[in-house]
Structures are given as structure tokens and as C-alpha cells.
Structure 1
């Protein structure tokens, strides 16, 4: 039987039971886990994502989780592996910096979306840099109309619909929606709506509006992943940053994802085509996994 450390982290949170939960498993290079086991454990955890990080050690015999700055990182929902997950990246970096005492100022993660960097700030927050995924407007045909209707309960002519090319996130923007209206959204995904989602290749639904005390707010729905609503979605903000850049004519944003748990994010659209996403994390569970 092999033992691994395991942590549950609330990401984009300043205290327990806020933000988005992520399971983090440091995997030593000489104790690899199969993809099947990673998926089984993610299903066992039954939270939005469980992430696995392995040092890409250049110094055999050292303490790689403390001294290395380059790691492989994989993310799994309870149903499948994903290309990009912001909150679990922040959670993984938080574990490395504040639980495993990594001495680096900046970490690089080798992922399915390329190399991602995370740096720590003086206030204890972390800043991640991801490639932006600018959404493009779509013609609202019957399948998109079915998805919007299932999400909002209506599909008026003024509702705007966009699809991001890399992550295939569908952005729904109702210009008449208030911040309270966003909180009241209660999707009902019929079999017809789920079939339309699959036909269009949509991997996540983002509903967004202007915020009351922040620049913009959003919610993220992903029932086919095994979690109906994601509490705080870092990757969605790689889509929302360029979306709101065109509407607000600014590149730095305060954002809030107004799920039941909720979470705050600092967002910056960078000149190099990346999006900087900042937030804090809190470890709520420390344990030992025996496999």
C-alpha cells in the first residue's frame, strides 16, 4: 500500500467554506498514479476538480516539492480530465507554497494547456497567467436557442451568445439582466438541451452581467461534468476578460462569481495575450491517501 498526502483547498477564498473546492494530491515521481486511478479518486472526492502535481525534478535526491519550480499538473472532474482549471491551479500552488514550503517565488506547471505560471504576492495572494480565450459571436440557431432557453428560461432576440474557441465555453449575455437576476438564474437542462449542448461541443456555460460593486459578475454551469454549478471558475475568466474588455474599455477588472459559495477574483488582460487571475486559498482538510 502506497501513501500520498492529500489536501482540500478552498480557492478564491479568504476563509473556509467560500470559493471553490479542489482536491490536491502531490504525486512523487517514483510513485506515479495512472489516469484511471486519478479519475476514480476525483469521483470519490465528488468536488469540482481534483488535481495531481508531480515535480519535474532536475536534482534527483533533493526534496523536489520544496526546491523544484517546475511541475506536471493534471485536473480531473468526477467525470473526465479537463484541459484547464484555474481554481485547482491556484489550490495546487497554494499547497506547494504554504503547506510544502516551496522556496520558489514563481512556479511553472506543465499542463494540457501548455506551461502555466503562478507567482506569490506579498499579501499572500497568488497570480496565475493563462492564455486568453476570446469568445466569438455565434448565429443563434435552434440548438443554441434550446441551450439558452434551458439556461435562462427565455431566449429573447437581444440575448447575445458567444463561444470561446479553445475551451468551448458558451457565454450568454442578457443586456437586461441585473445582478439580482443573475443570482436568480436556475437552469433546467432537458434531454433536448443536453443533446444540443453535445451537438455544439459546448464544454461549459457562462452567464455574465455587469456587477453592482465589481466590474462584472458571472455564474458557470457544467452539469455533464458531474457538478451542476462550479462555484468559482478561474478558466472562465480567460474568456470573460476579453469579453468585458470590449464593453468596458479597460484591461483590469474586479470580478465576482455569484454562486452559492461565491468568490472574488482580480483579473488583468495582459498585452502578451495572457490573462492574469489573482486570488487566495485556504486549506480546510489535510490527510493521507492510501492506495
Structure 2
């Protein structure tokens, strides 16, 4: 039996933000079992964490109900939140992941995550993406994260955006793609807004996406000439993040969390 939790990430209010499962393990388990547990949890991602060597160092994997993913920000935040608030871990935590070593810490009731970042490059897909989502904009691509980014001109268009995400799966973008970020500039409250669609990994729309902000952070930092930014993801559940661009292609992503379910899984 293993402790298992459900955490709403990038929010301090239950039933908002992005829910993630967190399964606490003593050692690695079979990947097929991880997929079965993730399917049972039926959340966008479930994290699996177990000790690795030195104190406060852990292995961390993330699974959707359909596949393992290389990076998941909100499930990382959820895992750290549980380890700090439920399991009593103190100090910095280090995770060994498919995206390399990640560092997290608890700062002023927020989880701060140190992630790799990548500034996306301009690509010639404006018309193709615009035809799919019905809004004109500018297209970019992040090869390291395999995410498309599409900048549109207005928040109201982002809020009302609705399209058949299955069209993304049927379209040849000429690049390996795992997600589409749609974003616009902000206002007096937030520096920028976004939404994230990832049918390639079984997620039509992700409520709040930490990994997308490893691309959005450097993108908007350059545009706004600001290293510290405040962001809002405009899904139905909504969520808030802070980003801070560092040197050496790293970024700090900060967010709050709230635990909504505590239990034990019998396997």
C-alpha cells in the first residue's frame, strides 16, 4: 500500500488550479502499473516519487492516463507541496527526472521550482494554426519541449477560444509536437495570459501548465524586458504563476497549492 494524494496546484483555493495525483513510493514500480494508477486517478498527470541516494534527493516521474511525459510543472509542485506539508521534509528538495535534475523549495507558502527554460523560435505556421483555432496570430516553436506557441492579439479572444482539438492531431506541422500554447499580453493585474492544449498526450486542455511557462517565461521576458513576471492561465479552473528568468537557460516558477484528498492505494 502507498500513500496517495490529490493536490490542486497553482492556486490556494480548492477545486481550482490544476489537480495532480501524487503517489509516494519506497522504490520504483513497473511503468505499466504507473499507467494503471494514473488512469484510476483520471487526472491530467499523476506523479510518482521515491528516494534516490542522498537526503532530500528523489526520483520523480509523471504519467498521464495514456503515457509518461518528460516534464510536468503542476505535478512537480504538487509533489513538493506534499513532501513539505504532509511528510515534514525540510530544506531544498532535488528531483532526478527525464528533464534532468530539478530543485524545489518552500518560500513564503509558495513552491519555487528551478526548471530548464527555452526561448521559442519564430516559425512559418501562422496561417495553419490560425485556420485551426480561428484567430490570426504569430507562431513559434520550442524544440526542447516540443511545444508550439501561438501569440494572439487580445485577452477576450483567448477567453472565448473554442476549437476541435482533434484537428491538431490530424495536422502535419512539420515538427514533433506535444502541446499548443496560445498566449496574449496582459494588463494591470498580470503580465501575460495563456491557455494550453495537448491532445497528443491525451489532454484536450490542461487547466494550468508549469511546463508551458518554461517557454512562456523567456518569451514574454524578452518582449516585456522584465525578468520577473506574473501570469494567469485562463482555463475554466484558472491558475496563477510567477516566473523569474535566470541565467544559463533556467527559470524559477512559483505557485501555491492546496491538498484536497489524502488516502492509501491498495496495490
Structure 1 length-normalised TM: 0.88
Taking a change above 3 Å as real, the CA distance of residues 268 and 56 of structure 1, as seen in their structure-2 partners, is same
Task: Indicate the structure (1 or 2) with the bigger Cα radius of gyration.
Answer: 1
The CA deviation string for residues 206-264 of structure 1, in whole angstroms up to 9 with x for no partner, is 00001232100100011232221100000101101111122101111010011100101
Partners of 1:259 and 1:37 lie apart in 2 by 30
| Residue 15 of structure 1 pairs with residue 18 of structure 2 | no
The CA deviation string for residues 55-92 of structure 1, in whole angstroms up to 9 with x for no partner, is 1144xxxxxxxxx3100000001111111111000100
Alignment-derived partner of residue 145 in structure 2: 167
Residue from 116, 126, 149 that aligns with 2:131:
149
Alignment-derived partner of residue 36 in structure 1: 32
**Runs (5+) with no aligned partner, structure 1:** 59-67
SS in 2 for 1:200: coil
SS in 2 for 1:43: helix
Partners of 2:22 and 2:62 lie apart in 1 by 9
Shift of residue 133, structure 1, vs aligned partner: 1.5
The CA deviation string for residues 70-115 of structure 1, in whole angstroms up to 9 with x for no partner, is 0000000111111111100010000100011113x10000000000
SS in 1 for 2:171: helix
Matches within 5 A, 1:3-152: 3-29=1-27, 32-58=28-54, 68-103=55-90, 105-121=91-107, 123-140=108-125, 145-150=127-132, 152=133
Partners of 2:32 and 2:172 lie apart in 1 by 26
Taking a change above 3 Å as real, the CA distance of residues 189 and 90 of structure 1, as seen in their structure-2 partners, is closer
Alignment-derived partner of residue 64 in structure 1: none
Taking a change above 3 Å as real, the CA distance of residues 33 and 190 of structure 1, as seen in their structure-2 partners, is closer
Shift of residue 198, structure 1, vs aligned partner: 7.0
Partners of 2:81 and 2:219 lie apart in 1 by 28
Structure 2 length-normalised TM: 0.95
* Higher relative strand content: 2
CA contact (8 A) 1:11 1:20 kept: yes
**Runs (5+) with no aligned partner, structure 2:** none
RMSD of aligned alpha carbons: 1.5
Which 4+ residue blocks in structure 1 deviate beyond 6 angstroms? none
Partners of 2:174 and 2:67 lie apart in 1 by 18
Shift of residue 190, structure 1, vs aligned partner: 4.7
CA contact (8 A) 1:10 1:281 kept: yes
